[in-house]
Chains A and B, each alone.
Chain A
């Protein structure tokens, strides 16, 4: 029997946010219908800059890889249904535009044949990494890190505990809640598989205090699982961002992940509950990841609920499934209300990291007031879960003082948005820090490039100087030889020998 425990740690900072989860959490997960088009971005979400494995006009089957596996290429993307490639072109995605593979769905929903993977192979770390990447498994919590790479690295470092993150701290979202309520046994089975794959002794499920149904379902699933002894549950307070990886680990264990390190450095590994279920599905069937659960919600959609969606489905289809827009809809957000991206149009496709779609009214989001000068009230620092002083970072971003920014821990910022929400001056702090990070990073790249160019330049200068000196020395030798008759005849002999060799290359030098 498992009983939910309380975590050992406290979160410094954070915010109590309105939950707004009830509207979408009330109904069971429904399956989204097969869309007309499936769209697969080839951008960062597919792991860098992948090469398409399909050509225009080519017929594809469900589960067929759409990008080519490559050395260092994290995770593949697969067609979620059968159809024909009708375009490989830039399309709108969350955060702008990216080249996409577009499949016109044929409606037959045919799939490649498949068989469960040979579990024995997964004991080898490189194979584990490669197989899970080939199956398209990446974190479903938001960051989208390659699951195989995470598990393989953690196995080598050795773990004390695996943390399964079901603390859905973002307002509006309820996909992990519904997942646990309806499919807790899959999450538990996936978790046990993760334990086996990493050699980790125990797993802890982390839930927020406000999801009692999920907790009950999870307790039942753990009781009925093959190894309840290694599984436990910890509840954490419903404070945003308790579900952030580093915050979650601190809340549960009381320990802090080093700012420059990763959770396995202190013996922990964190995976999203959805990722555990996805791993189980792969091990059970051998099918790659082509679906996920998406919360479709907000005051601007007729019937908020969670949908089981094929990756690549345009958001417009999800909205249609949920009864369409309400007339008051004003903004469309992909992801959560705190960290998601507002998109201009609803042709944007669902990707692995799309946990939510919020069609929001202007009233529920409110309008950000005109930004005025920072009055140094320090509320942002009081609420920063990363222990930063945003008010000082803000001044440093204004001065573009990269040294100060680094000293103040700019790169420890998790972009949670808490500082924005408490700022009485309405300064878009999180956006400023995002921009500053990019600028500092680009400058570092520039510096590195400049350093290399300088090194190259210096090497060339040295080479030229050396060559000049050598030429000078040779000339000097020859001049001296011309003055010295003995040396002169030797030089002439040398010239003759060389000339002979050139006219008759077959003859050996002797």
Chain B
């Protein structure tokens, strides 16, 4: 009788990359539902465009690099990067912007750096940063929050699809009528006009569905993130370090000058702080891998987000903060690695 011989250990592996990626996608589902409820079907179209482009670009690059295509597509990493990019984009984004970001993420950020496991930069954030600096006008407009699509000026699905594909709006509808500043936009422009924080918070989108939408979406993002922590799909170090640093710095700043600096709650629950902490900064490939390294990496992102939001050129800063901290990863890994047992 002959038996198969394999190297030890002989027990099977439980986890898999594709299962991990699928779990992260599931964790985004509640927030995606809230997003669709408040901002209409734009996100669904963005996801579709981003995912199709990402898969096509991934397949093309795998083919050019002579790598097996099917396992590369099946690992779910391209889909996840595309979905995260779609979350970063405004609901009303012309398809070619989404496709450009998604293709850049896969071709340049991922495959030119060596493919899965070797990319220095977070592909989703690299793709987003490229379209953000290339098409600032189109990305500055966020849809008006219309719960359930019930408010009159909101676009119906067909009109949204038409805008996504052609960039054209129905007659008598202006872009101004269906878009609205996000809380962070409002904060930034208000402060630029020398308003105090309490004045800014007295006007839209604060106090209306525009603020509620972000609270809901971010609350569900946090819930998904906690589920990922609970199932050990991610470890706590990066999200906790990032959120704690952002909260701490904004608490100090708000205590010093409450008229000009947003409270920690506003900082955490508007914009991309939570999705950044749980879903983007935790991308294992482009993050530090040691415990101490991850704490430093997370804190660095939190501090940069605070700095960019407070003094930088963009209302939110998660993408740039993540990309900047990606650069420090080799150094962090090198200087924070664990001590071998008995040394």
Which residues of A are interface residues toward B (Cβ below 8 A)?
12, 17, 171, 246, 250, 256-261, 325, 329-333, 335, 337-346, 358, 360, 365-370, 372-379, 381-382, 384-389, 391-392, 408-409, 412, 415-417, 420-426, 428, 430-431, 434
> Which among B223-231, B307-315, B331-339 touches the partner chain?
B331-339
Number of A-B contacts (CB under 8 A): 170
Q: 11 pairs across A/B with beta carbons < 8 Å? A: A259-B342, A330-B4, A342-B10, A369-B16, A373-B117, A409-B340, A416-B9, A420-B13, A423-B13, A424-B15, A424-B19
Contacts A360-B10, A375-B116, A389-B290 known; list 10 others, CB within 8 Å. A341-B8, A367-B12, A378-B235, A378-B294, A384-B338, A386-B340, A387-B338, A417-B9, A424-B16, A431-B7
Instruction: From the candidates B3, B12, B116, B333, name the one contacting A368 in the complex (CB within 8 A).
Output: B12
Let me know if A340 and B15 touch, CB within 8 A: no
Whether B8 pairs with A340 at a CB distance below 8 angstroms is yes
Query: 9 nearest interchain CB pairs?
Result: A366-B12, A417-B9, A409-B340, A373-B117, A259-B342, A424-B15, A431-B7, A412-B340, A378-B289
Q: Give every chain B residue within 8 A of A260 (Cβ-Cβ).
A: 342
In the complex, A374 Cα to B117 Cα: how many Å? 5
B contacts with A: majority SS? loop
Contacting pair B117 A338 (CB below 8 A): no
Instruction: Determine the chain A residues whose CB is within 8 A of the CB of B117 once the complex forms.
Output: 372-376, 425
A376: chain B residues at CB < 8 Å are 117, 284-285, 287, 289
- Please give, as numbers and ranges, the residues of chain A lying within 8 Å of B14 by CB-CB distance: 421-422
Known A-B contacts A389-B290, A430-B8; A421 and B343 likewise in contact (beta carbons under 8 Å): no
Q: How far is the CB of B288 from chain A (nearest CB, A)?
A: 9
B251 within 8 A of A: no
**What residues of A have a CB within 8 angstroms of the CB of B290 in the complex?**
378, 381, 389
Are the C-beta atoms of B342 and A389 separated by less than 8 Å? no
Bound Cα distance A428, B337 (Å): 21
Q: Are A365 and B12 touching (Cβ within 8 A)?
A: yes
Interface pair B338/A339, CB less than 8 Å apart: no
- For chain B, residues 143 to 171, give those with C-beta under 8 angstroms from any C-beta of chain A: none
**Smallest distance from the beta carbon of B16 to chain A beta carbons, Å?**
5
| In the complex, chain A residues whose CB is within 8 Å of the CB of B174 | none
Taking a contact as CB atoms under 8 Å apart, the answer to whether A377 and B20 are in contact is yes
Is there contact, CB below 8 Å, between A387 and B339?
yes
Determine the chain B residues whose CB is within 8 A of the CB of A389 once the complex forms: 289-290, 337-338
| Distance in angstroms between the alpha carbons of A391 and B117 in the assembled complex | 11
Q: What B residues does A346 contact at CB under 8 A?
A: 1, 3
Determine if A365 and B10 form an interchain contact, defined as CB atoms under 8 angstroms apart: yes
> Which residues from chain A contact B10 at a C-beta distance below 8 Å?
331, 333, 337-338, 340, 342, 358, 360, 365
Are A412 and B343 in contact (CB-based, < 8 A)?
Answer: yes
In the assembled complex, the Cα of A311 lies from the Cα of B115 at a distance in Å of 52
Q: Which residues of chain A have C-beta atoms less than 8 A from B287's C-beta? A: 376
> Contact at B342–A261, with CB atoms within 8 Å?
yes
A375 touches B284 (CB 8 A): yes
B71: chain A residues within 8 A (beta carbon):
370, 372
| Cα of A289 to Cα of B289 in the assembled complex, Å | 48
CA distance A360 to B9 in the complex (A): 13
- Given A375-B116, A392-B289, A424-B19, is A246 in contact with B7 using a C-beta cutoff of 8 Å? no
Task: Please indicate the chain A residues that have their CB under 8 angstroms from the CB of B9 in the complex.
Answer: 337-339, 416-417, 420-421, 430
